């Protein structure tokens, strides 16, 4: 490709809103352009890079037996109503009516669509197992798009779907995906870890997320450096200690101006772990009878030295979503904000109690009377509720496996895998006939990778003060040819020779200064740069610079094609040496 004819152009400064380095460089280098909040166009450079990523994905998915198909972005709402997700998913789902007034949706994911197809294709156990995948556009009306392609509303995604007759078959294909995903990320050159995760709106009981650890991430990952325990904080466990002692009689005491745990502990001269903290949320639930949404107050109790993890609380309460409660909603159930507890409370609410409270005795809790608390409250004797792990893990807490201190790190989710089980097949009557003639729900799995987000993370991982420096496996071109001589014939001949041998070349044939050309080459980040200058040309040589290391070498002009092939092979070998294929523990 000649840069004089290239559609996009480089920018000297980043547009407003470029809040990360990778995002800034993708904009400035002409890989992407923003059309609206969370909506981006891939310009030719960005499109070629994502094609490279998709090529790697296809190879690895085909290697585990996947067949590629393509499903529509627009789905009839009826199939989403069958699973109930039409009602349970909030405003993130794009809904509209067609000209015949039929409800339609823009697919955020394709579990319903693929199950609808599968129930027409699968009839017997002889047809199983099956694995299909697609690289398709999705729409999710995210309220907080950020960091360019990291968090968007429209995106391209690999999603694959497995169909098996039993859990054993699902376990096998789940493990195949687990290994294949590590190979995909490694072949792209992106470091990743797999962590246990919350299944969220997808359903199912087992899920893993693949994380690129980076300060720009919104997810918090909890890790143990000693034994390797990893989990998203949304589900992470930690070693808890319990205060077990003989129950004492409950006692009401005055605690003026003690609305917070810190103030209460200071006033009573006790440790915060001797208190029970009340957190109030309102959950949204779907009425099983009419499918309509309804709200209910959730009272969450954790020990005073812990915090509530909202994802755990939502799952424990089986709410579709939760939000902080308003004071009037708390008071409507007979509780007093700042001095509240479920003791003596009335009204329609759900009480979820962390095991740190349920297994500890004689904790201080609110008396539902302004300026007063109860000493020696005990779960089971003074109040009841559902016991669950709803506490949030953080730095320094004990690993639940080996007891060593845990560490928290920020990360970006780049992939996920879910064991769906029969969540969708049962709801949509996708069954197979077994050997005895019985109809059995198909056992399913769902697996996804965000292609644009993967490119964005690569831009974050591979950059310096000059711009991008992408790995050869995903860079839009392998070689950037920069000509600084007036006579274009030699540069043209090099360009023609390299391209004829299958080498991907971006040729800077523009009438610009050497400084501009070198700055643009660094910004765009092609792995190898060939510089054709007057001095080297007189000696029959050209300079080759490796973008990743800055290392430069001079080669004879007559040998350039073979030398460049060798350099490309070296760059690819660097990627290949880093390929990992981890086993699911």
Sheet of 372-377: strand order equals 251-254, 372-377, 363-369
Q: Using 50, 70 and 90 to split pLDDT, how confident is the model at 271?
A: very high
Distances in Å between the Cα of 267 and the Cα atoms of 11, 262, 306, 366, 376 are 59, 9, 19, 14, 16
Q: What local confidence, expressed as pLDDT, does residue 291 receive? A: 63
pLDDT in tens, 408-445: 999 999 999 999 999 999 999 999 999 999 999 999 99
Which residues are within 8 A (CB) of 428 and not within 5 positions of it... i.e. 6 or more apart?
Answer: 79, 82, 83, 112, 115, 116, 119
Query: How many domains, in total, are found in the chain?
Result: 3
Choosing from 397, 429, 460, the residue where a domain stops is 460
Mean pLDDT, rounded, of the chain: 93
Give the span between the Cα atoms of 57 and 489, in whole angstroms.
39
Q: What local confidence, expressed as pLDDT, does residue 288 receive? A: 63
Choosing from 460, 488, 518, the residue where a domain stops is 460
For residues 459 and 26, the answer to whether their CB atoms sit within 8 Å is yes
∠ CA 419-422-424, nearest 5°, is 95
DSSP three-state, residue 166: coil
Report the relative pairing of strands 386-388 and 363-369 from DSSP bridges.
Answer: unpaired
Give the span between the Cα atoms of 362 and 382, in whole angstroms.
11
Residue 410 lies in a domain: no
Residue 556 lies in a domain: yes
pTM, two decimals, is 0.87
- Domain containing residue 507: CATH number: 3.40.50.800
Please check whether residues 294 and 167 belong to one and the same domain. Answer: no
- Domain containing residue 311: CATH number: 3.90.960.10
Sign of CA dihedral 373, 378, 382, 386: positive
Structure tokens that stand for 259 in this block? 């609305």
Residue 585 lies in a domain: no
pLDDT in tens, 158-197: 999 999 999 999 999 999 999 999 999 999 999 999 998 7
Q: What local confidence, expressed as pLDDT, does residue 585 receive? A: 63
| Other CB atoms within 10 Å distance of the CB of residue 412 | 25
Q: Using 50, 70 and 90 to split pLDDT, how confident is the model at 143?
A: confident
Which residues are within 8 A (CB) of 357 and not within 5 positions of it... i.e. 6 or more apart?
Answer: 276, 301, 302, 303, 363, 379
Distances in Å between the Cα of 264 and the Cα atoms of 273, 302, 354, 366 are 11, 15, 20, 10
The residue segments making up the domain with residue 532 are 477-577
Question: Tokens 């971006």, residue?
Answer: 506
pLDDT in tens, 370-403: 999 999 999 999 999 999 999 999 999 999 999 9
Q: What local confidence, expressed as pLDDT, does residue 535 receive? A: 87
* Cross-strand bridge partners of residue 210: 194, 415
Please check whether residues 173 and 34 belong to one and the same domain. Answer: yes
For residues 319 and 267, the answer to whether their CB atoms sit within 8 Å is no
Please check whether residues 30 and 166 belong to one and the same domain. Answer: yes
Q: Using 50, 70 and 90 to split pLDDT, how confident is the model at 213?
A: very high
Q: What local confidence, expressed as pLDDT, does residue 199 receive? A: 59
Q: What local confidence, expressed as pLDDT, does residue 536 receive? A: 84
Please check whether residues 182 and 289 belong to one and the same domain. Answer: no
Task: Give backbone dihedrals phi and psi of 478, rounded to 5 degrees, phi first.
Answer: -90, -30
Q: Using 50, 70 and 90 to split pLDDT, how confident is the model at 534?
A: confident
Task: Give backbone dihedrals phi and psi of 151, rounded to 5 degrees, phi first.
Answer: -135, 105
Q: What local confidence, expressed as pLDDT, does residue 205 receive? A: 67
- Nearest CA to 473 out of 58, 55, 147, 47 is that of 55
CA-based R_g, the chain, Å: 29
∠ CA 117-118-122, nearest 5°, is 135
Please check whether residues 561 and 452 belong to one and the same domain. Answer: no
Please check whether residues 81 and 28 belong to one and the same domain. Answer: yes
Q: Is the pLDDT of residue 204 over 60?
A: no
Residue 55 parent element (H or E): helix 44-63
Output DSSP code: residue 199. Answer: -
Which residues are within 8 A (CB) of 308 and not within 5 positions of it... i.e. 6 or more apart?
Answer: 279, 300, 302, 354, 390, 391, 392
Give the span between the Cα atoms of 7 and 574, in whole angstroms.
31
Q: What local confidence, expressed as pLDDT, does residue 423 receive? A: 92
For residues 111 and 204, the answer to whether their CB atoms sit within 8 Å is no
Total count of residues recorded for the chain:
585
Please check whether residues 363 and 435 belong to one and the same domain. Answer: no
Q: Is the pLDDT of residue 201 over 60?
A: no
Which residues are within 8 A (CB) of 550 and not within 5 positions of it... i.e. 6 or more apart?
Answer: none
Residue 235 lies in a domain: no
Q: Using 50, 70 and 90 to split pLDDT, how confident is the model at 581?
A: confident
Q: 171-185, 247-261, 285-299: which has the minimum mean pLDDT?
A: 285-299
Report the relative pairing of strands 439-441 and 443-450 from DSSP bridges.
Answer: unpaired
Which residues are within 8 A (CB) of 231 and not within 5 positions of it... i.e. 6 or more apart?
Answer: 195, 196, 197, 221, 222, 237, 393
Residue 109 lies in a domain: yes
Please check whether residues 434 and 484 belong to one and the same domain. Answer: no
Which residues are within 8 A (CB) of 78 and not within 5 positions of it... i.e. 6 or more apart?
Answer: 103
Structure tokens that stand for 293 in this block? 């949404």
Q: What local confidence, expressed as pLDDT, does residue 289 receive? A: 63
Q: Residue 81, class by beta-carbon neighbours within 10 Å (0-12 exposed, 13-18 middle, 19+ buried)?
A: middle
Structure tokens that stand for 585 in this block? 């523990």
With a pLDDT cut of 70, the percent of the chain lying above it is 98
Q: What local confidence, expressed as pLDDT, does residue 206 receive? A: 80
pLDDT in tens, 461-517: 999 999 999 999 999 999 999 999 988 899 999 999 999 999 999 999 999 999 999
Residue 472 lies in a domain: no
Q: What local confidence, expressed as pLDDT, does residue 290 receive? A: 64
| Other CB atoms within 10 Å distance of the CB of residue 28 | 21
Please check whether residues 424 and 500 belong to one and the same domain. Answer: no
Please check whether residues 162 and 71 belong to one and the same domain. Answer: yes
| Residues 565, 569, 572, 577, Cα dihedral to 10° | -170
Give the span between the Cα atoms of 204 and 189, in whole angstroms.
31
Concatenated DSSP letters of 108-129: SS-HHHHHHHHHHH--BGGG--
Please check whether residues 356 and 428 belong to one and the same domain. Answer: no
Residue 583 lies in a domain: no
Please check whether residues 437 and 488 belong to one and the same domain. Answer: no
| Other CB atoms within 10 Å distance of the CB of residue 99 | 5
Choosing from 351, 372, 388, the residue where a domain stops is 388
Helix ranges restricted to H, 130-216: 167-188
Longest dimension (CA), the chain: 97
pLDDT in tens, 296-346: 999 999 999 999 999 999 999 988 889 999 999 999 999 999 999 999 998
Q: What local confidence, expressed as pLDDT, does residue 373 receive? A: 96
- Domain containing residue 436: CATH number: 3.30.930.10
Q: What is the SS3 assignment for 467-508?
A: EECCCCCCCCCCEEEEECCCCHHHHHHHHHHHHHCCCCEEEE
Q: Using 50, 70 and 90 to split pLDDT, how confident is the model at 18?
A: confident
pLDDT in tens, 542-551: 999 999 999 9
Q: Is the pLDDT of residue 33 over 60?
A: yes
Residue 128 lies in a domain: yes
Concatenated DSSP letters of 395-426: TTPBPTTT-PBPEEEEEEEEEEEEEEETHHHH
Q: Using 50, 70 and 90 to split pLDDT, how confident is the model at 369?
A: very high
């Amino acid at each position: 490709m000649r840069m004089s004819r290239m559609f996009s152009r480089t920018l000297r400064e980043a547009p407003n809103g470029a809040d990360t380095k990778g995002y800034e460089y993708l904009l400035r280098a002409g890989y992407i352009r923003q059309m609206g909040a969370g909506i981006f166009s891939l310009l030719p450079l960005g499109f070629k890079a994502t094609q490279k990523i998709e090529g790697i994905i296809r190879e690895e998915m085909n290697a585990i037996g996947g067949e590629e198909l393509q499903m529509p972005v627009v789905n009839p709402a009826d199939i989403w109503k069958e699973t109930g997700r039409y009602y349970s998913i909030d405003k993130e789902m794009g809904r509209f009516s067609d000209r015949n007034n039929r409800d339609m949706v823009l697919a955020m994911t394709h579990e319903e669509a693929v199950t609808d197809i599968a129930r027409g294709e699968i009839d017997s156990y002889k047809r199983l197992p099956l694995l299909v995948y697609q690289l398709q556009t999705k729409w999710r009306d995210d309220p907080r798009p950020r960091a360019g392609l990291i968090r968007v509303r429209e995106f391209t995604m690999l999603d694959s779907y497995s169909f098996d007759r039993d859990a054993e078959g699902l376990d096998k294909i789940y493990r195949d995906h687990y290994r294949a995903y590590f190979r995909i990320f490694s072949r792209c050159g992106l470091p990743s870890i797999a962590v246990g995760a919350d299944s969220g709106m997808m359903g199912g009981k087992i899920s893993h997320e693949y994380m690129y650890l980076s300060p720009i991430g919104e997810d918090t990952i909890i890790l143990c450096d000693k034994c390797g325990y990893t989990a998203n904080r949304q589900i992470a466990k930690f070693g808890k200690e319990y205060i077990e002692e003989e129950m004492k009689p409950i006692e009401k005491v005055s605690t003026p101006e003690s609305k917070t745990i810190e103030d209460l502990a200071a006033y009573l001269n006790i440790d915060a772990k001797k208190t029970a903290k009340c957190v109030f949320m309102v959950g949204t639930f779907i009425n099983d009878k009419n499918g309509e949404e309804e709200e209910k107050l959730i009272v969450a109790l954790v020990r005073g030295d812990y915090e509530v993890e909202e994802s755990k609380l939502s799952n424990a309460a089986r709410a579709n979503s939760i939000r902080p409660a308003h004071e009037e909603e708390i008071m409507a159930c007979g509780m007093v904000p700042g001095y509240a507890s479920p003791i003596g409370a009335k009204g329609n609410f759900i009480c979820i109690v962390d095991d740190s409270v349920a297994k500890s005795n004689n904790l201080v809790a609110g008396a539902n009377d302004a300026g007063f608390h109860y000493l020696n409250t005990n779960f089971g004797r003074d109040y009841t509720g559902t016991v669950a792990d709803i506490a949030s893990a953080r730095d320094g807490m004990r690993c639940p496996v080996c007891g060593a201190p845990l560490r928290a790190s920020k990360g970006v989710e780049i992939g996920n895998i879910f064991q769906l089980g029969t969540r969708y097949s049962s709801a949509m009557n996708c069954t197979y006939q077994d050997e005895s003639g019985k109809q059995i729900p198909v056992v399913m799995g769902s697996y996804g990778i965000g292609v644009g987000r993967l490119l964005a993370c690569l831009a974050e991982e591979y950059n310096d003060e000059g711009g991008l420096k992408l790995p050869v496996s995903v860079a839009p071109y392998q070689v950037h040819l920069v000509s600084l001589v007036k006579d274009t014939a030699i540069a043209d001949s090099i360009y023609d020779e390299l391209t004829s041998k299958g080498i991907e070349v971006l040729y800077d044939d523009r009438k610009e200064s050497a400084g501009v050309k070198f700055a643009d080459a660094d910004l765009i980040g092609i792995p190898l740069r060939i510089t054709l200058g007057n001095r080297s040309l007189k000696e029959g040589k050209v300079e080759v610079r490796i973008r990743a290391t800055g290392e430069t070498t001079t080669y004879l002009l007559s040998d350039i094609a073979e030398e460049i092939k060798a350099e490309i092979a070296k760059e690819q070998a660097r990627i290949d040496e880093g390929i990992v294929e981890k086993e699911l523990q």
